[in-house]
Amino acid sequence: MLTETDQKIDIKSLTLPELQQVLTDMGEKAFRAKQMYQWMHEKLAGGYEEMSNLSVALKEKCQEKFWYCSLGIVQVQESKLDGTRKYLFALRDGNVVESVWMKYKHGNSVCISSQVGCRMGCRFCASTLDGLERNLTPSEMLEQIYAITKHTGERVSNVVVMGTGEPLDNYDNLLRFLKLLTDENGLNISQRNVTVSTCGIVPEIKRLSREGLQITLALSLHASNDEKRRKLMPIANKYSIQELMEACEEYFRHTGRRITFEYSLVGGVNDTDEDAEELSRLAGKLCCHVNLIPVNPIKERDYVQSEAKRVLAFKNKLERNKINVTIRREMGRDIDGACGQLRRKHIQETKP
Ligand code: SAH
């Protein structure tokens, strides 16, 4: 498959064998493909002009035939609390997307967006308020990581697809992105260091489980019964928790990878002792880990965080039920940390 934009081939979304094919069709030697691939995906070249071992003639042919994806940095916000950086990038059609860079003891992690906007409609999330604009190409997903690597001058070791968008709603591009990201001729990031987070599209979870990947699947659960989940997440009207659990079990069976359940605690909504008991019963049946996230309030909705002692009580209850649980350390609280906030603010400020 070739991803075409304006009839030009999106060169950064091609796998190495595909690039070999295209270049040999152009009358070039096959070894050029590997050179160019490494320039793009390993050395993170900003354009053909940096590819010092290519002839001027070939560079010109490439300009003609391909689109070379690159992102413009619109804004960088750095947290004074923990060094987390939030990037706002401009795409070539004028849309903007956001990504986050987080520094941990075990390495640097980047959280990327998979779509411009989102159509999943989760009630507490800022990314979905204006719906879906379009899917991101594999190259646009990669470029978020490449641009941040160049800007920070530091290697990225972990990637989480947890920014704006529903990755499994952009399945083919996501898969191609994962292939390129973990390719030995590119950044060569270990599949085990990549996490894809989904609101729970059951058929796509099942499909993903059969791709032979070693990535971590994170499921945004946020409620432990269907009734409550439907109030928070429209996707719950389509798939029941029972169906979701079966899909997760299938994912574990095929991949051997422990599932992460994300559970955003919303004050008075999903944070009671009974919720914790119900969640324990679900989680107890699977090889999983529960990540509790104090909800990040957005101004468009009146959801509030659970009180700190409620969060602890919730966690203790899960622990007593022998569930593996952590509370997500909040990073970048001072810099519009919640999903989609930075992009939204930018759009509102620049609207004519
Ligand atoms: N669409 C994917 C990935 C993007 S959201 C998904 O649903 O998983 C990444 C995570 O942040 C999800 O668990 C999402 O539910 C959660 N999230 C979104 N907005 C939030 C907010 N305001 N506070 C806390 N968590 C939020």
Among residues 288, 291, 287, which one has the least CA distance to residue 325? 291
Q: Which of 69, 118, 125, 339 is flagged as catalytic?
A: 339
* Residue 106 pLDDT grade (very low, low, confident, very high; cuts 50, 70, 90): confident
Assess whether pLDDT exceeds 90 at residue 262. Answer: yes
Name the architecture of domain 72-350.
Alpha-Beta Barrel (3.20)
d(CA 153, CA 231): 43
Order of strands, edge to edge, in the sheet holding 325-327? 72-78, 85-90, 96-104, 107-111, 158-161, 194-198, 216-220, 259-265, 288-294, 325-327
- When pLDDT is averaged across residues 233-243 and rounded to a whole number, the result is 98
Exposure string over 274-293, b if 16+ CB within 10 A, otherwise e: ebbebbbebbeebebbbbbb
pLDDT tens, position by position, 300-316:
898 999 999 999 999 99
The pTM for the full model equals 0.95
pLDDT tens, position by position, 274-302:
999 999 999 999 999 999 999 988 888 98
Q: What secondary structure letter does DSSP report for 205?
A: H
- Could you give the residue ranges of the DSSP H alpha helices within 183-225? 202-209
Q: Which of 62, 69, 98, 133 is flagged as catalytic?
A: 98
- When pLDDT is averaged across residues 268-277 and rounded to a whole number, the result is 97
Question: Ligand 1: which of 119, 161, 197 to mutate, most ligand atoms within 8 Å of CB?
Answer: 197
Assess whether pLDDT exceeds 90 at residue 89. Answer: yes
Q: Name the CA dihedral angle for 88, 74, 64, 3, rounded to a multiple of 10 degrees.
A: 10
Q: Tokens 């053909």 identify what position?
A: 48
| CA nearest ligand 1 atom 4, residue | 162
Q: What is the mean pLDDT of the chain?
A: 94
- When pLDDT is averaged across residues 261-282 and rounded to a whole number, the result is 97
Assess whether pLDDT exceeds 80 at residue 336. Answer: no
Ligand 1 residue neighbourhood (C-beta within 6 Å): 120, 122, 124-125, 162, 166, 197-199, 220, 262, 264, 293, 295-296, 298, 338-339
DSSP letter string over 25-38?
Answer: HTT--THHHHHHHH
Q: What is the pLDDT of residue 338?
A: 61
For the chain, give every domain's residue range: 4-67, 72-350
Instruction: Give me the count of residues in the chain.
Output: 352
* Catalytic annotation present for 339: yes
Residues near 103 by beta carbon (within 8 Å), at least 6 away in sequence: 82, 83, 84, 109
d(CA 125, CA 262): 14
pLDDT tens, position by position, 132-168:
999 999 999 999 999 999 999 999 999 999 999 999 9
- 171-181 vs 202-209: helix axis angle to the nearest 10? 30
Assess whether pLDDT exceeds 60 at residue 20. Answer: yes
pLDDT tens, position by position, 158-195:
999 999 999 999 999 999 999 999 999 999 999 999 99
Question: Ligand 1: which of 99, 109, 270, 339 to mutate, most ligand atoms within 8 Å of CB?
Answer: 339
Q: Please state the separation of Cα 228 from the chain's center in Å.
A: 25
Q: Domain 4-67, CATH 1.10.150.530 — does that match?
A: yes
* Residue 82 pLDDT grade (very low, low, confident, very high; cuts 50, 70, 90): confident
* Residue 340 pLDDT grade (very low, low, confident, very high; cuts 50, 70, 90): confident
d(CA 340, CA 24): 42
Q: What is the pLDDT of residue 1?
A: 46
pLDDT tens, position by position, 24-38:
999 999 999 999 999
